[in-house]
Chain A
Amino acid sequence: MPAPLTSEMLEANRARSAAERAAIDASCRGPVLAFAVSAVFWLLMGSVLALIASIKLHSPYFLTGSAELTFGRVRMAHLQAVGIGWASLATVAAALWQMCRLSRAELIYPKILYLACALWNVGTLLAVFGIIFGDGQSVEWLDAPRYAPPFFIAALGIVVAWVVAVFRRRREPHVYVTQWYILGAVFWFPWMYLVTVFMIFWAPATGVVQPIVNWWFGHNTLGLWFTPVAVGTAYYLIPKIIGRPIHSYYLSIIGFWALALFYSWAGMHHLIGGPIPGWLASASTVGSMMMLIPVLAVAINHHMTMRGHFHRLRYSPALRFTVFGAIAYTAVSVQGSFEALKDFSEVAHFTHYTVAHAHLGAYGFVTMIYFGLFYYMIPRLTGREWASPLLIRVHFWCAAVGITVYFVALSIGGWWQGRMMNNPDVPFGKIVTYLLPYLFTRSVAGVLLTVGHLAFAVSFIMNLAGWGKRRSGGPTFFVEPGG
């Protein structure tokens, strides 16, 4: 029987482990912060574009003086700013940092990642402003002008290579479920992106194959790029913050493989009722329903892990955002499965109901979890606490209330919009007028979200500027490298 560890040995172990963690964080500090700062910049840009687009839907004479600010361009530019800008850059930051930590391996040659970050930002800049100045493509999610994708492909190549390199240098033999999700995302997304760009732009497929490929990509950008990294992040943050291992690790692995198996089928439910083979839409509906397996696995696991610890939501900002995001993941995924049913689609399709659903996924789930990650990760990278608890509270409540109001208003308005559009006795003009209060409410929600983003950005800048207290002791045994 081994001799029990003395208190000195325990303390030495603790210090060694803290020093290793600090060295790992220090190795990826620069690149991860570069991706995170760019992500927040594009979040603000995307918010402004979203507000302009939203206001135009209920006040059509708002900013009508220029072609650059017409709804079609501003809305596409918003999607690129938040999808390729904010969410993707945050995904990369999340993937890099967590892969380093979970592999217990330092990032090598971090300067190359600055190049990847610069390429990605140039690509996003070209995408957003290219669209505004009239070079957009009429392909949902791939609206960026043709000169933007090479920048994303180069940047993505570097990021993928570095994530895999960190994984291969791992000192931790066990592959945690978050690493599975990250590895899945960095394998699936570049492959999807290349195939889609090839089949739509470089060697265009003919006929209905194009929208099929388009929606396979559009849906899977959320499902096989943002979702794995965001769900993986929740699997890391929730147990880590409350100090309790995941309830059923077995279930978490089942959830990952079920997502890998079923998610890529689901994209065709966007084309239900469209001129595609019936079996394709039906297979997609089946895939969407099968997604209930991984979703319920994640929901049960997160809930059971949190059981008895919900009071901690009062004390931890990161946990608050992450748990909100995890609950939204369950809600949006279950909703999405049923939305894929043909009878449901008859009403909800081509209405604001789908817009509400998309925002519950991209914002309520993905964005809220990334906010949680940033609140946890940034102080550990900069060595500074957040300077203002008030700004964090403003951010949380604006984001939580904003996305809830947004979702409820557009879901109700969109559902009745669908019902009226299916009734040939209702004139189209009446439907447009009916929607005005719901669209106005959406703009109010958008203002709330933007205020939250401003509070977040101010907090972030204050942290980077060193206004927060230096981290020492406290809930995390943080050691400055070399300290």
Chain B
Amino acid sequence: MSAVDLALFLTVIGSIVLFGGAAALALGWAFKSGQFENFQHGSQSIFGPDEPPGEPTDAFPGEPAPRP
């Protein structure tokens, strides 16, 4: 096996380990930090007091957004 072949082999194997390992770590962290616990809260996290659920936030310029 030449040096280039070895480098390529290590790249492929290293990538598989890195990719799989990173996914496993991310999943583990998400479970540990409670990311998968309260989905209701999670889905609401993009809203805030100034842009609450129930209020549309986009319209053609000069035209009012229809009320819900």
How many residues does chain B have at the interface if contact means C-beta atoms less than 8 Å apart? Answer: 43
List of B residues within 8 angstroms of A195 by Cβ:
11, 15
Closest to B41 in A: A174
| Measured CA separation A317–B54 after assembly (Å) | 19
A339 to chain B, nearest CB (A): 25
In the complex, how many residues of chain A place their beta carbon closer than 8 angstroms to a beta carbon of chain B?
A: 62
B49 touches A17 (CB 8 A): yes
Interface-central residue, B18, B41, B46, B55, by most chain A CB under 10 Å: B46
Q: Please, how many angstroms separate the alpha-carbon atoms of A63 and B62 in the complex? A: 45
Q: How far is the CB of B10 from chain A (nearest CB, A)?
A: 11
Q: Which residues of A contact B46 (CB under 8 A)?
A: 102, 176, 236, 239-240, 245
Which of B27, B30, B47, B49 has the most C-beta atoms of chain A within 10 angstroms of its own C-beta? B49
- B57-A476 in contact (CB<8A): yes
Cα distance, A386 to B60, chains bound together (Å)? 8
Given A203-B8, A241-B56, A249-B42, residue A477 in contact with residue B50 (CB < 8 A): yes
A388 / chain B contacts, CB cutoff of 8 Å: 61
Q: How far is the CA of A191 from the CA of B36 in the complex (A)?
A: 27
Q: Find out whether the CB atom of A176 lies under 8 angstroms from the CB atom of B57.
A: no
Q: Which residue of A lies closest to B63 (CB)?
A: A315
Per-residue CB proximity of B25-40 to A under 8 Å, as 1/0? 0110010000110011
A440 at interface, CB cutoff 8 A = no
Interface hits, B3-33 → A, CB 8 Å = 4, 7-8, 11, 15, 18-19, 22-23, 26-27, 30
Q: Report B-chain residues with C-beta under 8 Å of the C-beta of A264.
A: 19
* Contact count A vs B, C-beta below 8 Å: 134
- Return chain B residues, CB-CB under 8 Å to A319: 58
Q: Chain A nearest CB: distance from B55 CB in Å? A: 5
Partner of A241, one of B26, B35, B58: B58
C-alpha spacing A14/B48, complex, angstroms: 8
- CB pair B57–A13 under 8 Å, yes or no, is no
Among A142-150, A327-335, A467-475, the stretch in contact with B:
A467-475
A387 interface residue (CB < 8 Å to B): yes
A477 to B35, CA, bound (A): 29
**A249 touching B50 by the CB < 8 A rule?**
no
- Please tell me which one of the listed residues B30, B40, B48, B62 contacts residue A17 in the complex, with CB atoms under 8 A apart: B48
Interface contacts beyond A18-B50, A243-B68: sample of 20 additional A-B pairs, CB < 8 Å, sorted by A? A15-B50, A16-B49, A20-B48, A175-B35, A188-B19, A191-B19, A239-B43, A240-B46, A243-B57, A249-B39, A264-B19, A315-B59, A315-B60, A315-B66, A319-B58, A388-B61, A389-B60, A389-B61, A475-B59, A475-B64
